[in-house]
Structure 1
Amino acid sequence: MPKATSDDIESEDMLATIATTTKHKTSHTVTKASTLSEMWLKKPSMSTSVKAKASTMKPTADAKGEPEANSSKARTTAAAEVALQENAVTQGILDTLETDTMGESWLEALKPEFKKPYFTQLKKFLAAENASQAIYPPAGNIYSWSRLTPLDQVKVVILGQDPYHNQGQAHGLSFSVLPPTKPPGSLKNIYKQLETDIPTFKAPQFGDLSPIAKQGVLWLNTSLTVRAHKAGSHSRKGWETFTAQVIRAILQREGEDSGVVFMAWGLPAQKTLASIGINKKKHLYLESAHPSPLSAHRGFLGNGHFRKANEWLAQKYGKEAAIDWTVISAK
């Protein structure tokens, strides 16, 4: 999340935008999410904005015309004002993040979570982090999984850990990256297994899994944000409690068509699903090693999960229910 130089006027403009955004909480479009994301990205940096303000300040004079001795006090006051505005921008974004960017079906199911103490503490943590650190993914993409895969359309759940932590990678779906970023090692191994399971699949040069997500595949991380260049930095801050409730919302769906496929790759994903409790008579539960280059050869490659998922979906709901994994295949 790069920090851009900005002055107080831009901060005030952002605050006005926050107020406008708050008035229109009923819209959950990707366009609004993009706007919110841009606001987060443009949030002024403490160091740059303070430095800009300080550089334009001139020493004041006392009644005798002499420069004020304690000009540093004036700079400190200016810095405090800028910091207050920046914090207001961040808090405004965080206060409306769910209502402005979460898909409506998920928003309705998860709304009770937003008022719980753990979620309040999580938001405070994110505000503090964003005051001095870059955070990924951008704000508007934290809940992109909820817009691409509505609750009532979930067929497959693929559980990851936390987002990629380098710039231009994470965009809210586990294992997925946006162009022009090339597929990371774990995703390359996912492609290898897809080529084994689906004869017509050919690994693409890009890593955006959104077209698959739109078919009902929920690419979900247990932690939805991360500090730049520090894997696992937002773990055990509250996201795991929230994403466990995401999975419970799927399990609580009613009807004969509510069974789904769970793919648990690696011990963390397996422990998460075990703690929630998956009815293996109703759902297809598949587990293996993680697709990371460090572990893929210890059970991920050759697991047949994509083939097994499609066979189960076709048998339970009909051939049209199977996932077209080739939608991202190289041409």
Structure 2
Amino acid sequence: MNNQQPALFEAPAAQPLPEYSAADFPFYFGAKSLASNGFIAEDWVSTLEPLDGVLQDIAQQLALRSQAGEQILPAPEVMLRALLLPLAKTKVLIIGQDPYPTPGHANGLAFAAEKNVRPLPRSLRNIYKELSSDLAVPEAPHPDLSPWHEQGVLLLNQVFSVTAGQAGSHQKLGWTPVVEAIIGALNSRKNPVVAVLWGAHAQKLSPLMGNMPHVHSVHPSPLSASRGFFGSKPFSQINRHLTDSGQAPINWKLPTA
């Protein structure tokens, strides 16, 4: 006699991980293709085009990792999302490390996540606390930083991809020359771009930013924020640098809904 009761609910089937080929990464086809298909702004083409071979190699490496069972984050089409902000309209550069390794969090903008992500990433929560202290801006309940991006804040990670659950896993994949080229283009801008360097990892890039005013402190991570990030007033410093160079300040207040 079978005494087992039928299940009231069936557990959802596990979703298979996406398995990418090199061609699934838009940058595999080069900078001109990226711009013509709306993945980056047109004025970044001359910066990235000399690195087409590097980008193609990265796409091939990511495909091999994916086919070996790694979950690659973020989605290929948003890995270079930060460069949708035109070079000519960039006013502030905030340097992050690598994308969030939690599935569903990374969205191509450093420190940001999609609007529905909860709880807030811990470093971003500390950024909001310091923003509130610095400029009396209410802390946003969400991690969507796209309004900053739209005003000219380039939220640039030093690495554009990561394996799920493995922070820092793609640091040696080959992204460094891409990031250095982006910084070099910003450093050549006539109107100076304000560089925000939080933590030693970001501050190692300062030699590439000789023409850019710097705002720096320890990283907003919970491990270090109390040792100099809180009280550093980065947002008022950024706006002061912008106004000193004749540029409009950033409105750092984010929508609450």
| TM bin (shorter chain) | 0.7 to 0.9
By how many angstroms is 1:122 displaced?
Answer: 2.2
- Cα deviation for residue 246 of structure 1 reads 0.8
Q: Aligned partners of 2:56, 2:15: CA distance in 1, in Å?
A: 27
User: Does the alignment pair 1:188 with 2:125?
Assistant: yes
Q: Which of these residues, 300, 309, 317, is aligned with residue 246 of structure 2? A: 317
Structure 1 match to 2:180: 244
d(CA) in 2 for partners of 1:216, 1:245: 18
Matched, 1:267 2:200: yes
1:143 touches 1:172 (CA, 8 Å); kept in 2? yes
Partner of 1:38: none
Query: Does residue 23 of structure 2 align to residue 96 of structure 1?
Result: no
Aligned to 1:18: none
Greater Cα shift, 155-164 or 235-244? 235-244
CA contact (8 A) 1:179 1:207 kept: yes
Q: TM-score, normalised by structure 2?
A: 0.85
Same amino acid, percent of matched pairs: 34
Alpha-carbon offset, residue 252 of structure 1: 2.0
Matches within 5 A, 1:30-49: 43=18, 45=19
Q: Distance in 1 between matches of 2:229 and 2:157?
A: 18
Does the Cα contact within 8 Å between 1:103 and 1:146 map onto a contact in 2?
A: yes
Q: What is the TM-score normalised by the length of structure 1?
A: 0.67
Q: Give the letter aligned to residue 24 of structure 2.
A: I
Structure 2 unaligned regions, length at least 5: 1-13
1:307 pairs with 227, 232, 236, which one? Answer: 236
Q: 1:97 Cα deviation (Å)? A: 7.0
For residues 271-296 of structure 1, give each alpha carbon's deviation from its aligned partner in whole angstroms, at most 9, with x where no partner exists: 1223x2x22xx421111100000000
Residue 144 in structure 1 maps to residue 50 in structure 2: no
Alignment of structure 1 residues 253-292 onto 2, 5 Å: 253=189, 255=190, 258-274=191-207, 276=208, 278-279=209-210, 282-292=211-221
Deviation at 1:329, TM superposition (A): 4.5
SS at match of 2:205: helix
Deviations 1:143-192 (A, max 9, x none): 11111x21101111000100000111000000001021132110001001
Provide the rounded CA distance (Å) in 2 between the counterparts of 1:240 and 1:197.
32
Tell me, in whole angstroms, the C-alpha distance in 1 between the residues paired with 2:59 and 2:123.
Answer: 30
User: Which structure is higher in helix share?
Assistant: 1
- Deviation digits for residues 16-73 of structure 1 (CA, Å, limit 9, x no counterpart): xxxxxxxxxxxxxxxxxxxxxxxxx7x4x5xxxxxxxxxxxxxxxxxxxxxxxxxxxx
Q: How does 1:142-221 map to 2 (within 5 A)?
A: 142-147=79-84, 149-182=85-118, 183-199=120-136, 201-221=137-157
**Contact preservation (8 Å) 1:203, 1:329:** no
Equivalent residue number for residue 17 of structure 1: none
Aligned-partner Cα distance in 2 for 1:112–1:4 = 38
Q: Cα distance, 1:124 vs. partner?
A: 2.3
The 3 A distance-change label for structure 1 pair 91 and 122 is: closer
1:233 is matched with 169
Q: Structure 2 CA distance, aligned partners of 1:158 and 1:184?
A: 16
Rg larger in structure: 1
SS at match of 1:264: strand
Cα distance, 1:298 vs structure 2: 0.6
2:4 is aligned to none
Contact 1:97/1:139 (<8 A) preserved: no
Distance in 2 (alpha carbons) for counterparts of 1:91 and 1:157:
29
| Aligned residues of 2:94 and 2:155 also touching (Cα < 8 A) | yes
Do residues 125 (structure 1) and 61 (structure 2) align?
yes
CA contact (8 A) 1:166 1:228 kept: yes
More off after superposition, 92-101 vs 206-215: 92-101
CA distance in 2, matches of 1:198, 1:106: 32
Superposition misfits of 4+ residues, deviation over 4 angstroms: none
Counterpart of 2:47 in structure 1 is: 109
User: Deviation string for 1:91-128 (max 9, x for gaps)?
Assistant: 2223337524222221232111113xx44432221111
| C-alpha displacement of 1:215 | 0.5
- SS at the partner of 1:263? strand
Mean Cα displacement is larger for which, 95-104 or 162-171? 95-104
